[in-house]
Chains A and B, each alone.
Chain A
Amino acid sequence: MGEVIVVTSGKGGVGKTTTTANLGVGLAALGHKVALIDADIGLRNLDVLLGLENRIVYDLTDVTGGRCRLKQALIKDKHCEGLHLLPASQTKDKTAVNPEEMKKLCQDIAQEFEYVIVDCPAGIEQGFRNAIAGADKAIVVTTPEVAAVRDADRIIGLLEAAELRNPKLIINRFRYKMVQQKDMMSIEDIIDILAVDLLGVVPEDEQVVVSTNKGESVIQDERSRSGQAFRNIVRRIKGEAIPLMNLNQNGMLNKLRRIIGLK
């Protein structure tokens, strides 16, 4: 029986789908059987991030509605052996699925896969309740901004109320320079306020956009810093104790490393 992990945030646009795609690719690259579920019904995204938008025949609501079998709806990733996607439907609204159906779906998929990662829609309504219904564990993504951290706090409360205890936090779009200038909350500030365990910190990185444009994942880019951060997170999910990477991209040593191609 595999593990079902839901990626949540509360506030929209902080990086849930980016995180889901990268963790999926990263875990599959290490040889695991991984299924990604796009639970953002009506606003499908994950297929585009993975470059699979042209391969969709059936979607999540076709499976829960009994119009096709699970196997027919799961799409194999192009680059990554072992990675599969269950796309969201683009036409239906969130009420096309209910939490019981999602729970059953997650259980069925977890029979076949080691990791099932659910990409949650923004907000705290039905779409959120659907996405978390079948999850064993939760990841909360935030950026270091007041509104995002506030919503993360709300989500953490709702997750705990739904018996998803000890959610793990990913701080995305972290800007070391701004933190140094004291113009952005630090990792310690955020952890202190939210009182949760940190799973990782992903720096702000243009390479995320470049990879996304190509339908690829930045985690496969050996030299990108955000890719390194995601690779570390993958290993932490597997239970390894990996220290936080050096987030100071402008440090002399790092500059030198980059110039000579070590990083």
Chain B
Amino acid sequence: MLEFLTRLFSRESSTSKDIAKERLRLVLVHDRAGVSPQLLQALKSELIKVISNYMEIDEQGLEVNLDSSENQVALIANIPIKQMKRLPENIVSGP
């Protein structure tokens, strides 16, 4: 509840200038790294292929992006899992 409230409030107080700055920051991380949408899309497809061997994931909800903080660029992936595959041999030794 508390978390919900603080989130609500912080979202309300994030001004259009802050949104602009954050969007700009993110788009420049991609521009400067020379990472094209096509490259990210290809990366996504391969990730889905690999991860699907182990678990069932929500392909629509999958997000892969670059982000940066303090001169470090990181690849951030958010991969919602629908279900773990219940095949013990998969988990132990792979497909």
Contact = CB atoms under 8 A, between A and B. Distances in A.
A112 interface: no
Contact of B32 (A157, A179, A182, A185): A157
B28 A185 contact: no
Contact of B24 (A150, A154, A179, A186): A150
Contacts of B23: 146
Given A146-B20, A185-B20, A193-B24, A153 B32 contact: yes
A145 B27 CA distance: 13
A180 to B, nearest CB: 10
B7 interface: no
B16 interface: yes
Contacts of A240: none
A154 B17 CA distance: 21
Contact of B17 (A153, A157, A183): A183
Contacts of A193: 21, 24-25, 28
A189 interface: yes
Contacts of B15: 181-183
Contacts of A145: 20
Contacts, number: 38
Nearest to A148: B24
A150 B27 contact: yes
Interface in A151-207: 153-154, 157, 179, 181-186, 189, 193
Nearest to B18: A182
Interface residues of A, number: 16
Task: Give the secondary structure class of B's interface.
Answer: helix
B31 interface: yes
A184 B15 CA distance: 9
Nearest to A183: B16
A154 B27 contact: no
Contacts of A36: none
20 contacts: A145-B20, A146-B24, A149-B24, A150-B24, A150-B31, A154-B31, A179-B17, A181-B15, A182-B16, A183-B16, A183-B17, A184-B16, A184-B20, A185-B17, A185-B21, A185-B24, A186-B17, A189-B17, A189-B21, A193-B28
Interface of A: 145-146, 149-150, 153-154, 157, 179, 181-186, 189, 193
Interface of B: 15-18, 20-21, 23-25, 27-28, 31-32
Given A181-B15, A193-B24, 13 more contacts: A146-B23, A149-B24, A150-B27, A150-B31, A154-B31, A157-B32, A182-B16, A182-B17, A182-B18, A184-B20, A185-B17, A189-B17, A193-B28
Closest 7 pairs (CB-CB, A-B): A182-B15, A182-B17, A183-B16, A146-B24, A146-B20, A189-B21, A185-B17
